[in-house]
Amino acid sequence: MRLMAFRNLSEPGGPEFSEAQVKALAATYEIADAEVEGGVRPGVAADRWPSPFATEQDARDANGGALPPDLSVIAKARTTTQPFPWWILNYFTAYSEGGPDYIHALLTGYADPAPAGAEVPDGMYYNAAFPGHAIAMSPPLQDDLLTYETAADGASVPPTVDQYSRDVSAFLMWIAEPHLVDRKETGFKVMAFLFLFTVILYLVKRRLWAKVEH
């Protein structure tokens, strides 16, 4: 998450943490800083999310040679693959959730044992959504990892991999494009204005030319 600063978590549209929550969370991380004594200091709200691995080689060594991608914009970098001609329909339905749908499918797509006929090399895991179906990432989520608060009206959210994956993919979409809703709202207003302006211009033109024979 190297593009995300802790303070982004308090922005509208995201998790909307309070300033105190952001500061408390940031302080639980150690940030490498050559300018302080000892070379590390507790995180502050303006710091970027630190990588769990010191170097790219450390990351590969811990993951059987595969490099875990930075997840900051992964929701925009990936999408679902649909065979021809189905993807053409997306132009008509304005489907644009391919990234989060892929992440959800990836996180819920593990199968152990792998289906008959699937070849999974040692140290890899079968995943139905990953291209080639053999992924170096072990399943990162399990049921009952954490529980959700029950709402005042008694409604509860199931503590399942499916539910966690929905939340994680929604979060990754937001962090990949935090201003998406604003952008679309502004786009809608601009289009509405241009439409009205066109109508007004047309009426003005008719009026101006009404008395001219042509």
Binding region for ligand HEM (CB under 6 A): 63, 66, 68-69, 71, 74, 78, 103, 106-107, 135-137, 140-141, 168
**Coil, strand, or helix at residue 145?**
coil
Task: Give the residue among 87, 82, 103, 92 at the shortest CA–CA distance from 174.
Answer: 103
Q: Least separation, in Å, of the C-beta of 116 and ligand HEM?
A: 22
What does the alpha-carbon distance between residue 129 and residue 104 come to, in Å, rounded to a whole number? Answer: 9
What does the alpha-carbon distance between residue 205 and residue 210 come to, in Å, rounded to a whole number? Answer: 8
Closer Cβ to ligand HEM, 43 or 78, answer by number: 78
Closer Cβ to ligand HEM, 50 or 68, answer by number: 68
Closer Cβ to ligand HEM, 17 or 125, answer by number: 125
Q: What is the DSSP letter of 55?
A: S
Closer Cβ to ligand HEM, 67 or 190, answer by number: 67
Q: Which two tokens stand for residue 209?
A: 């030319």
Task: Give the residue among 207, 211, 214, 106 at the shortest CA–CA distance from 165.
Answer: 106
Closer Cβ to ligand HEM, 64 or 187, answer by number: 64
Lookup result for tokens 């993807």: 87
What is Dmax (Cα atoms) for the chain? Answer: 87
Q: Least separation, in Å, of the C-beta of 168 and ligand HEM?
A: 5
What does the alpha-carbon distance between residue 42 and residue 23 come to, in Å, rounded to a whole number? Answer: 10
